[in-house]
Amino acid sequence: MLSIAAAAMPRDGDDRLKSFTLLAAQTDFTEAGELMLFVSESQLAFLEDMMWEQGFLDGRQMAGAFQLLRSNDLVWSRGVHEFLMGERQPMTDLMAWNADATRMPYRMHSDYLRRLFLNNDLAEGRFIVTGKPVVLGDVRVPIFAVGTVSDHVAPWHSTYKIHLQTDTEVTYLLTTGGHNVGIVSEPGRGGHSFQLMTKKPDDQYLDPQTFLTEVPRKEGSWWPEWVDWLKARSGASIVPPPIRAPGSDHTPLGDAPGFYVLQE
């Protein structure tokens, strides 16, 4: 969605965007990985019929598809430990986040799977926004793209294709870990490393295998590299507004994230 907006804005004369970051995100779906096992014309017809009746894809159904992509870890191993051996794993912060599923609106989910995954309209210049197609080649702002080595949702070779779709500066970072843990790689946690390369518009293309073998590896979290990249391309810092403006009658109802998450 961010890539679509970044391509549509310059087409329409909107220059507010100064840079953007893609976190394990695909813009070309020709090598979209194992998720393509669930995306075919018959599968989409079945999903669309189901969503038409209820207006959305239930969060549990979405979570089930991603669990099947890593069935050894998220289905079978979990079943053996919890149901056969009675050894329930303690909840971690990442597990809690992963379990917080969200419903997908029918139109959004259908367009995403059919126009992006199945038809690859964005990469091939057929994705329509406000009556006209958008082309990623129109993007002129710097891009910071992150891929993760063992990503089962967005394989890093697929995210690396951003180099082939744009003529702007692309900083590509490949980090250890998977789709979630590779991104949630905060400083201070050991066992992480990454490779980083910036390609200017006039630089020659470096294929993924050459990138993997020739780009130097750095130990630690990739977050500080991203922070430095953002600082170099950002304006002056802005003081955040107070939680409650002086004299305001809008008293906070409670602490974040709010009561709605409890469905009360």
Q: Which of 239, 224, 241, 229 is nearest to 18 (CA)?
A: 229
pLDDT score of 141 more than 70: yes
Does a structural domain hold residue 66?
yes
26 and 147 within one domain = yes
End-to-end CA distance of the chain: 31
Q: Please give the share of the chain, as a percent, with pLDDT higher than 90.
A: 50
Quote the tokens at residue 4. 């679509």
User: Tell me, what DSSP letter sits at residue 121?
Assistant: T
Quote the tokens at residue 80. 């053996």
CA-CA distance, 220 to 87, in Å (whole number)?
32
82 and 18 within one domain = no
Q: What is the pLDDT of residue 9?
A: 95
199 and 79 within one domain = no
Does a structural domain hold residue 90?
yes
**Whether the predicted model's global pTM rises above the 0.85 cut:** no
99-122 confidence digits (pLDDT tens) = 777 778 888 888 888 898 889 999
pLDDT score of 81 more than 80: no
88 and 202 within one domain = no
Does a structural domain hold residue 39?
no
Does a structural domain hold residue 127?
no
What domain range is 71 assigned to? Answer: 59-102
Does a structural domain hold residue 252?
no
Q: How many other CB atoms sit within 10 Å of the CB of residue 218?
A: 16
136 and 228 within one domain = yes
- Cα Rg, the chain, nearest whole Å: 21
Residue 223, φ and ψ in degrees, nearest 5? -55, -45
